[in-house]
Amino acid sequence: MRTLIVFYSLEGNTAFAAEKIAGILGAELLRLEPEKEYPHSGMKKFLWGGKSAVMGEEPSLKPYVFKGEDWDRVIIGFPVWAGTVAPPIRTFVKAHGGELAGRSVAVFACQSGSGAEKAFKKLAALLGRESFEAELVLIDPKAKSSASNEEKLAAFCRKLS
């Protein structure tokens, strides 16, 4: 099954998880990058990122190539911001949601606190889906390596194998 992992990562946690999943599943990666980068630290990171997420903003992205018909499965990965998907994912879904219809879609989220389950529901609604093939929630997988994250990641990949 041809699998693509589409992801956005601000601090490297989502990229870390995407690369691990790609290695296990033999998937390809598509990293989304906003034209205007979000702050990486301090209060600006939380204020700008949080406002952008809560307001449902759809930032312009740097050019990328995506053709839904090229993939049997798409895995979407993102950091949780204010209980929802990071805005670059919203931009991608708005642009390509129709291309994802009829395809297998799985999701994973990286967070420091909580909100991933709520974010998955919001993403499912954006895509017009009831559920996903598989869901994975990781707590800071790059910054705070743990046996729990490794077990969850392995189970997610087994479900998709």
CB atoms near residue 101 (< 10 Å): 12
| Pairing between β-strand 84-85 and β-strand 28-31 as defined by DSSP bridges | unpaired
User: What are the domain boundaries of the chain?
Assistant: 3-160
pLDDT tens digits, the chain, 161 residues: what are they? Answer: 899 999 999 999 999 999 999 999 999 999 999 998 876 666 555 555 555 665 677 899 999 999 999 999 999 999 998 889 999 999 999 999 999 998 999 999 999 989 999 999 999 999 999 999 999 999 999 988 899 999 999 999 999 99
Place of tokens 């291309």: 99
Q: Judging by DSSP bridges, how do beta strands 84-85 and 135-139 pair with one another?
A: unpaired
Fold (topology level) of 3-160: Rossmann fold (3.40.50)
H or E segment at 153? Answer: helix 147-160
